[in-house]
Structure 1
Amino acid sequence: MPGKGPTLKLVTRAQLGWPASAAPAQATTRGVKVHYEGTPVSTRLLTDHAACIAEWKAIRASHLANKTENYSDVAYNYAACPHGYLLEGRGIGKRTGANGNQDLNRAHYAIVGLVGSSGLVTPTDAMLGAIRDGIDLLRQHGAGPEIKGHRDGYATTCPGASLYAWVQKGAPRPGTTTPPTEDDVSLTAAQAKQLAELHDVLVPYAGWQYKGKDEETDAYAYLRGTNASVKAVDAKVSALKPVDLTDAQIAALAEKVAAAPGLADAIAEKVAQKIADRLAE
């Protein structure tokens, strides 16, 4: 939550002299994506907060002038500056325009760190803290637990090497080595042991490899023994204690599986092809 670290330093649209955002409303997302400017950014921002405000206003002006994209407002929900200020963009409850296309925009809100491809390229701890403040603020108003980089799901180098490395660590607040407790997705030793036991039980029966006509590896032999195998697996799984995972841990594990899109379909296609090849012999 904002406030767990230093006090949230928010610069509102009203303070920026902007009217209410005309961006489409969107109450919930799967989480937040982190961005950078992707262009040269002056190191002057490090010592002059007024330059940060000017930079943010210039980004909005350039977006509104972009007739190709036809932005209704600055593309991001928030920006974070090197001095630790969270600068309001579209704000809470508004669909972003930054993630690449409408499906991606609906999936995640967007926060940009005021760093770029040259000049100012490394975020300060204060900037990381402000991004984290923005993430926590959006989570209080409909954002889910996911924290991703713009490059996740879209062909781009955004948010740059430094910010993306931080995102991959879970976007921890500066001064900590892990995300806040409520976002902790690490497994206890007991949970890891239980998952390993489930893995050892299920994997031998989860797939098979056709090696020829030998009875022990023949597809038909495998299919004939399926019922007995399923019963054996069911008995072993039933004997294991349930794995008590938090919602955040479940979401993190699901995200790891989702990181390999089409994997299950690809495996199914290969199995189906092997069976078809065997029947054609």
Structure 2
Amino acid sequence: MLTYPEHREWPSTEREWAQRIEQVGQQRLVGPDGKDREAAPKAAPAPRFISRREWRAAAPTQTDTVNFWPEWGGIVLHYAGGGKEMREEHSPGRTPAPLDDCYYQVRLIQHRHMHPSPITGGERYWDIAYNYLICHHGYTFVGRGLASQPGANGSRYANERYYAICGLIGSGDPKPTDVMLRETKAVMEWVRRYDQAGARVEGRHVKGHKDVDRDPPTQCPGSLYPYIGNGYFD
């Protein structure tokens, strides 16, 4: 439950409303009178967000909301990696979370991004590298969120122009579930509506990671890629 401050004005722009929804996630938003409040107008349906507070994200070391122009690019879709990445459990509120759990998985991804192993190496990011991460249960974990430059797209050019959305699925998993695909599409519609992703691009503006990052070659986003080709996310 989040208590809304008594003397704070409610956000007024559509983007501010959208960012407020991401901050609230699955929590109740309660006003100073103890009554439930709406995070945004009911006319603006939202994905099933799990806020950073809910998945207990570490604080970023910095952010970049200036050098990001997704209207000139769009959206890049990722998967979580090789092997089996789908987690059996989805258990908010359990402390500690089971290892086979989506909440634990997202926290682990953030830790690996911010603190790469000295043995295996890897780029050090200022936060989890994705804007959003979607599990096969049909929920969206807020990463860097709306209007923030990602770090996962493989180059400065791609990071400055494309949202990075990650499906929590791997090359060894079954096909993506219907609820995962619907939630992914809902998140893509979200960034189109509230940050004009792909608005100035002719043709398809949803790409796979392997379309924008070919050095070294990658198979990402794996089994999600055919849904780009068949126009599901258009």
1:87-135 CA-partner distances (Å, limit 9, x unpaired): 10010111110110111111211100011121x2421111111111211
Q: Whole-Å Cα distance in 1 between the matches of residues 171 and 114 of structure 2?
A: 22
Q: Secondary structure at 1:92's aligned position in 2?
A: coil
Q: Which residue of 1 aligns with 2:25?
A: none
Query: 1:169–1:77: structure 2 CA closer, same or farther, 3 Å change rule?
Result: same
Given the alignment of the two structures, is residue 132 of structure 1 paired with residue 194 of structure 2, yes or no?
no
Alpha-carbon distance, 1:139 to partner: 1.3
Q: Which residue of 1 aligns with 2:55?
A: 16
Q: Whole-Å Cα distance in 2 between the matches of residues 115 and 28 of structure 1?
A: 28
Cα contact 2:85–2:168 (8 A) shared by 1: no
Cα contact 2:56–2:107 (8 A) shared by 1: no
Q: Secondary structure at 2:107's aligned position in 1?
A: helix
Q: Secondary structure at 1:32's aligned position in 2?
A: strand
Q: Which residue of 2 aligns with 1:63?
A: 113
Percent identical among aligned pairs is 34
Q: Whole-Å Cα distance in 2 between the matches of residues 23 and 39 of structure 1?
A: 28
Alpha-carbon distance, 1:169 to partner: 1.7
1:152-199 CA-partner distances (Å, limit 9, x unpaired): 122221101x21000112234xxxxxx4xxxxxxxxxxxxxxxxxxxx
Give RMSD over aligned pairs.
2.4
Instruction: Name the aligned partner's letter for residue 150 of structure 2.
Output: T
Q: Whole-Å Cα distance in 2 between the matches of residues 70 and 42 of structure 1?
A: 22
Instruction: Name the aligned partner's letter for residue 33 of structure 1.
Output: V
Q: Which residue of 1 aligns with 2:152?
A: 98
Q: Secondary structure at 1:114's aligned position in 2?
A: strand
Pick from 144, 153, 158 the counterpart of residue 198 of structure 2: 144
Residues 259-274 of structure 1 mapped to structure 2, 5 A cutoff: none
Instruction: Name the aligned partner's letter for residue 226 of structure 2.
Output: A
Cα contact 1:41–1:114 (8 A) shared by 2: no
Q: Secondary structure at 2:53's aligned position in 1?
A: helix
Higher helix share: 1
- Give the TM-score normalised by the residue count of structure 2: 0.65
Q: Whole-Å Cα distance in 2 between the matches of residues 121 and 24 of structure 1?
A: 35
Cα contact 1:78–1:91 (8 A) shared by 2: yes
Q: Whole-Å Cα distance in 2 between the matches of residues 93 and 19 of structure 1?
A: 19
Cα contact 1:8–1:130 (8 A) shared by 2: yes
Q: Which residue of 2 aligns with 1:78?
A: 132
Q: State the number of aligned residues.
A: 168
Q: Whole-Å Cα distance in 2 between the matches of residues 105 and 19 of structure 1?
A: 21
Query: 1:91–1:7: structure 2 CA closer, same or farther, 3 Å change rule?
Result: closer
Cα contact 2:80–2:170 (8 A) shared by 1: yes
Q: Which residue of 2 aligns with 1:28?
A: 69
Cα contact 1:33–1:110 (8 A) shared by 2: yes
Q: Whole-Å Cα distance in 2 between the matches of residues 28 and 135 of structure 1?
A: 15
Given the alignment of the two structures, is residue 49 of structure 1 paired with residue 90 of structure 2, yes or no?
yes
- Give the TM-score normalised by the residue count of structure 1: 0.55
Alpha-carbon distance, 1:23 to partner: 2.8
Cα contact 1:147–1:170 (8 A) shared by 2: no
Alpha-carbon distance, 1:68 to partner: 4.4
| Structure 1 spans left out of the alignment, 5+ residues | 173-178, 180-281
Given the alignment of the two structures, is residue 170 of structure 1 paired with residue 225 of structure 2, yes or no?
no
Pick from 210, 216, 219 the counterpart of residue 157 of structure 1: 219
Alpha-carbon distance, 1:75 to partner: 0.6
